[in-house]
Structure 1
């Protein structure tokens, strides 16, 4: 199997950590770099969290770059309620690597450089707000054409929100960036929406088996995900199906699709954009089912996946 070259852009919370570990465990994948963005927690924490994950996986040779600390319009959301204030469940780690291990090159410059060095070969997996990626396009309008694929965790296809009534967190955290990316990128775009992730929620029994494999990686995952597990189960027992019926690792679904083309079994294909003006719909992904936007580059929106393959990738990640 030909090696897949990936560039990861993320806001390292618990499910980003899960996604990184899936990619690190996949035999046919080379991660060329990890770029950090604001989102689940502040940018300094995101950088530290990525370093922690790489350390536990003994892959500290992978370069990590610091990117945007705020959205294009300076706003900031965070998901501390779910991920913990530090983004990884607020579990103290006295041996965590320090920020001196972050590359001096800015994430946006690194992204453009890596895509240029490996033109047509790199798949960019974007599992946080899209600020860095929009900035890369603004700095180099040829950037999108240098990518092989763009995989996005974000947006929605049935106007179901998770931070506002109608918008998903990553798009709500920087609607302008999402708008720029969805309207200016010419490479194939694959999107794992919030509803797609909810629809494939994993049973809590699987989660228990997954984190109790007894390895160092599994113990790390058990520690960092205890906070979000408690939060999600409390919501579910209150009848708030905000988090769906089970364990939802949005970023893992996106990463699985990027690693193995056969994971996603069904797509719908439409032009997509993002609502910027609406009083209740700002940040909502628009799915142009009528083709009124007349878009050349229509996105592949994931609708069904082979859940057993996702589970296998996740189990391997913590072995």
Structure 2
């Protein structure tokens, strides 16, 4: 069978690294490129982190492109408490590749070019703020219709927030970009929301089994997740992120579905939009469950996950 062609757009924090490693380990996947966006950390760190993961996985042949360093309105919203200041748990690597390995071409033009080279065949997996994706749609209005699929980690379906009362981090970091993407994309669009991630958290005993495999990748994962694990198990993390009851690799839920659609066992199709003006709800994803807005494009929102398949994809990532 022909391999699935994936293009990854990441803001490489710890869970992006987990999702990327999941994709690298999947035999049915070919990764055409990785585009970097601001989000979990500053864009320079994102680029460095992607290269670090590629070197670990011996995949330095995959081209990496630098993209947007802030939201469409020029705002930055990094969260050092969760991923660490550098995005990868503040565990420096003196042998990490330098930024000279980043392609000269900008992430947005690279996205457009790659998709134009493989019209109707590329699945874009966007697991950070959607700034690059929105810019691509604005630069080339045909871009959204030329994708095969778009998978997004972001937004929420029950007004449950993490960095805002009603807002999920990736959408809150660039609400305008999220709004553009949800209103412009005509290709089949799939969303792994914040609540979907929380509902499918993994037991901590699985996490410890996962990172204690006797491999170089597992040792790396154990190091970069130490900061995150400590925070999520703390009173503050349990309260803010609801993680205390288990391990949540947010970005991996979208990646798993892109790799193997059977991982998702139940979903729903709705028109979706993003609130841009509310004092409490800016950045919140709104599901039009009654179809009152009569939106032409509908998104598939994930509801239930096959946890055994998801666990296996995670385990394979660190072998």
TM class by shorter chain equals over 0.9
Could you state the TM-score of these two structures normalised by the residue count of structure 2? 0.98
User: Partners in 1 of 2:119 and 2:203 — Cα distance?
Assistant: 40
Q: Deviations over 1:257-287 (max 9, x none)?
A: 0000100000011000000000000000010
User: Partners in 2 of 1:293 and 1:258 — Cα distance?
Assistant: 28
Answer yes or no: is 1:291 the counterpart of 2:262. no
Answer yes or no: is 1:170 the counterpart of 2:159. no
CA 1:274–1:302: 2 relative to 1, 3 Å:
same
Q: CA deviation at 1:288?
A: 0.2
Answer yes or no: is 1:44 the counterpart of 2:41. no
User: Partners in 1 of 2:235 and 2:247 — Cα distance?
Assistant: 12
Aligned to 1:18: 18
1:1-319 alignment runs, 5 A limit? 1-235=1-235, 242-243=242-243, 245-319=245-319
CA 1:265–1:96: 2 relative to 1, 3 Å:
same
- 8 Å Cα contact 1:235-1:242 kept in structure 2: no
User: Partners in 2 of 1:228 and 1:128 — Cα distance?
Assistant: 17
Q: CA deviation at 1:290?
A: 1.2
For the aligned residues, what is the CA RMSD?
1.1
User: Partners in 2 of 1:172 and 1:247 — Cα distance?
Assistant: 22
Q: Deviations over 1:182-215 (max 9, x none)?
A: 0010000000000000000000000000000010
- 8 Å Cα contact 1:235-1:243 kept in structure 2: no
- 8 Å Cα contact 1:8-1:126 kept in structure 2: yes
User: Partners in 2 of 1:264 and 1:162 — Cα distance?
Assistant: 23
Structure 1: runs of 5+ lacking an equivalent: none
Q: Give the stretch that moved more between structures: 238-247 or 49-58.
A: 238-247
Q: Deviations over 1:68-104 (max 9, x none)?
A: 0000000100121100000000001000100000000
User: Partners in 2 of 1:301 and 1:124 — Cα distance?
Assistant: 16
Q: CA deviation at 1:244?
A: 5.6
- 8 Å Cα contact 2:65-2:110 kept in structure 1: yes
Structure 2: runs of 5+ lacking an equivalent: none
CA 1:258–1:75: 2 relative to 1, 3 Å:
same
User: Partners in 1 of 2:56 and 2:219 — Cα distance?
Assistant: 10
CA 1:283–1:241: 2 relative to 1, 3 Å:
closer
* Count of residues paired in the alignment: 319
Q: CA deviation at 1:241?
A: 5.5
**Could you say what secondary structure the match of 2:234 adopts?**
helix
